[in-house]
Structure 1
């Protein structure tokens, strides 16, 4: 039985992260499209599986899991022996990976989420946009990315010299923000620029952005 992936059909936000892991790890899956505009994520059937009424979510032969980062970790570890290694196995390397993943979640993502809520989410539901919140998020980002510049001056990726989920997680909303005219990665230091070009031009991500998310049975 193929893994069922409940998602929007385009590579964005948490759905995009999970889709990229599925591609990088070469995992067959069935896409179950959830139409957010029609409120399909708030139906009794969906809420019975995901009590917060969100996407993404997976059903792995009856095992239900939601929250994109948890799903990505689960898939990376379950399919560790195939596709791209996304979580290191040695204890020191894994500790550095977890450190990098924590940096993304606590220092980078909250700022991106603040901007993405206004630029991406609110327009979908015809809600008023808070331009001040966008400006504040943009103003706060350089402090974090300046630290990234230092870290990436001594290693290729955020968690070391190998691409991991910690890097992949940065694709959550940034590409869509760039498409909508809020290029939060522009005019950064050379190390951040090199790193961002690397992770955002991976063939798996380029294909997902161009073609959307499709079932792979």
Structure 2
């Protein structure tokens, strides 16, 4: 039975990192489109799979899992022997990976979300952007990237010299910044961050996903 991915067809947020993980691991899947405008994510049937009524969700032959980072870990573990190796194998390397994954979840994600709430959230609702709030959010996020600059000066990717899920997790919201005129990932005078980010954005699986959107691959 092919894995089912319940998500939106846009490569953004949690859907983006799950779809990218599936692509990197060369796992075929069937996309079950969830129409959030029609509140399909709040139906009793959907809430039985995801009690918070969010996307994405996977159903892997009856094994149902929600929360995008958990889904990515599951895919990377289950299909460890195919596609890109996204999880280190040695104990110490795995701990360093978990450290890097925590950096994304507790530093990068909260800071970038403040920017997106102001720059993207308001734009989508037709509300004026408060430039002072946006500038403060960008400044806070820039401080996080200053630390990334130091980390990425020591190794190629966030968890070491190999591309891992710790890097994948940044694809959820990081690519949105440039689309809304916030050129901070590559325009902040941080050569290590710029190198890393450009390499991430050039990954063939991401280029394809960005161009074609999320769609069934079975």
TM range (shorter): over 0.9
Offset at residue 120 of structure 1 (A): 3.3
Deviations 1:145-180 (A, max 9, x none): 111111111110110000000011111112122112
Mark the CA change 1:44 to 1:32 in structure 2 (over 3 Å): closer, same or farther: same
5+ residue gaps, structure 2, are none
Mark the CA change 1:139 to 1:10 in structure 2 (over 3 Å): closer, same or farther: same
Residue 37, structure 1, aligned to residue 37, structure 2:
yes
Offset at residue 129 of structure 1 (A): 5.8
Instruction: Report what 1:209 is aligned to.
Output: 210
Offset at residue 121 of structure 1 (A): 4.0
Distance in 2, matches of 1:29 and 1:119, equals 33
Offset at residue 86 of structure 1 (A): 0.3
Q: How many residues align?
A: 216
Distance in 1, matches of 2:172 and 2:55, equals 13
Deviations 1:108-167 (A, max 9, x none): 11011112233334554x374662443221010121111111111111011000000001
Aligned residues of 1:119 and 1:129 also touching (Cα < 8 A): no
Instruction: Report what 1:65 is aligned to.
Output: 65
Instruction: Report what 2:77 is aligned to.
Output: 77
Q: Secondary structure at the match of 1:156?
A: coil
Mark the CA change 1:122 to 1:73 in structure 2 (over 3 Å): closer, same or farther: farther
Aligned residues of 2:122 and 2:129 also touching (Cα < 8 A): no
Q: Secondary structure at the match of 2:209?
A: helix
Instruction: Report what 2:140 is aligned to.
Output: 140
Instruction: Report what 2:201 is aligned to.
Output: 200
The two structures, once aligned, show a CA RMSD in angstroms of: 1.5
> What is the TM-score of this pair, normalised by structure 1?
0.94
Q: Secondary structure at the match of 2:6?
A: strand
Distance in 1, matches of 2:126 and 2:54, equals 18
